[in-house]
Amino acid sequence: MVQLAPAVAMDEVTFRSDTVLSDVHLYTPNHRHLMVRLNSVGQPVFLSQFKLLWSQDSQTESGAKGGDYGDAHTKEPPSAETGSTGSPPGSGRSNEGFSLQAGADTTGWEAAEAQLDEDGDLDVVRRPRAASDPNPAGPPRDKVHPMILAQEEDDVLGEEAQGNPHDIIRIEHTMATPLEDVGKQVWRGALLLADYILFRQDLFRGCTALELGAGTGLASIIAATVARTVYCTDVGADLLAMCQRNIALNSHLAAAGGGVVKVKELDWLKDDLCTDPEVPFSWSQEEISDLYDHTTILFAAEVFYDDDLTDAVFKTLSRLAHRLKNACTAILSVEKRLNFTLRHLDVTCEAYDHFRSCLRALEQLADGKLRFVVEPVEASFPQLLVYERIQQLELWKIIAEPVT
């Protein structure tokens, strides 16, 4: 839980403890999170690069480490029957399986191995002592100075710009935000969802899909490598502009698969889509027709942290399912977060419990038009991104089909 101190110099970022920090950044090399600019509300924006390793040899090497990958990571590439494919769409490479990995020369796991002490324990590097401490107990620690890069893409990419552009995913994001801006961060649930999309390419291939609460757009970018059209939706002009930037940074990936990503506003608290042409990221009538006529996949990651918003998400899912002309499948990614509450004087999972109650209510919904079948997805598919796939990460599938 962190926050940027107000009116801080751009090269001396200090974090406080009353806002939210995604822990995804703790599991990838620090030099892959490069500060590039301040957004319109003064938050530092970082650029992270995720490298795609398309060869089977790379997948075997990454699986050999074991460790924090857990049982979910396998050395063998998934078979064709399970829906996975090998080379990127349009690359002309053979179907040999692949892995998706953050960083370039070293992984977070190799870095962790290098930080073990003589007893084999992890030697943790402590954060800098607060600059406001006038009488530190020991020698002062160094301040953190994020690297600030030029705006030109060649400078941002550095040596990796010389490599194959189809092997790199670039995501602009923030690291510390107030709760209302958590969509600007990268969360583990989005990486789990991206893993599943890559594993079940048969489900997404050639379809029209819509992501709810897309945030940085990472999952939509991955979906566009196989889907025909992806509607990447959220609210807030600043967030949607960041999402649009990420779509542009990775347009080569969608183009290789023939997919199109459209960033649009979708407010869960409103029944209708915004069609005002004066409003940024509004919908045209043609796009609305395409959405309702062709969409078969809905997906969302890490949008179930507030009870009111969770209610709104499920209301939106139900409303969309009733308006779509085709039966649809929704894929939901959630992390079961444990919190100690004074009300219970115990560790609880209230946000997750409310999410599960909404699943049960949706499954029991009977209006004579649609029925919703809710199924948990076993997280045993290969891990294709470097992150900690903890047991608290879950995927749920909701199948909406007409009542016969």
Q: Note down pLDDT in tens along the chain; length 404 residues.
A: 444 444 433 344 444 545 777 766 655 544 456 778 888 778 888 888 776 654 433 333 333 333 333 333 333 433 333 444 444 544 443 333 333 333 333 333 444 444 566 665 656 555 544 444 556 555 554 444 444 443 444 444 444 444 566 667 889 998 878 888 899 999 999 999 999 999 999 999 999 999 999 999 999 999 999 999 999 999 999 999 999 999 999 998 887 778 899 999 999 999 999 999 999 999 999 999 999 999 999 999 999 999 999 999 999 999 999 999 999 999 999 999 877 666 666 667 889 999 999 999 999 987 889 999 999 999 999 888 777 888 999 999 999 999 87
User: In one letter, which amino acid is 18?
Assistant: D
CA distances from 135 to 16, 127, 130, 131, 214 (A): 19, 17, 11, 10, 45
For the stretch 125-134, contacts whose Cβ atoms lie closer than 8 Å and that sit 24 or more positions apart, written own/partner, are: 127/15, 130/14, 131/14
Which pLDDT score is estimated for 384? 81
Strand stretches in 185-286, DSSP E: 208-212, 229-234, 260-265
DSSP 3-state assignment of 233?
Answer: strand
Which pLDDT score is estimated for 142? 46
Inter-residue contact 170 to 246 (CB < 8 Å):
yes
Q: Which residues pair with 169 in a beta bridge?
A: 50
Surface-to-core class of residue 119, CB atoms within 10 Å of its CB (0-12 exposed, 13-18 middle, 19+ buried):
exposed
DSSP 3-state assignment of 343?
Answer: coil
CA distances from 2 to 25, 142, 145 (A): 13, 19, 17
Other C-beta atoms within 10 Å of 57: how many?
A: 10
CA distances from 126 to 31, 144, 274 (A): 17, 11, 47
Q: Which residues pair with 22 in a beta bridge?
A: none
CA pair distance 292, 245, nearest whole angstrom: 26
Which pLDDT score is estimated for 45? 87
Which residues, 6+ apart, have CB-to-CB distance to 221 below 8 Å?
A: 169, 246, 247, 250, 253, 254, 261
Inter-residue contact 90 to 206 (CB < 8 Å):
no
Inter-residue contact 204 to 391 (CB < 8 Å):
no
User: pTM of whole model > 0.85?
Assistant: no
DSSP readout, 151-181? SSHHHHHGGGGGS-GGGEEEEEE-SEE-GGG
Longest dimension (CA), the chain: 74
C-alpha radius of gyration, the chain, whole number: 22
Token pair of 364, please?
Answer: 């029991």
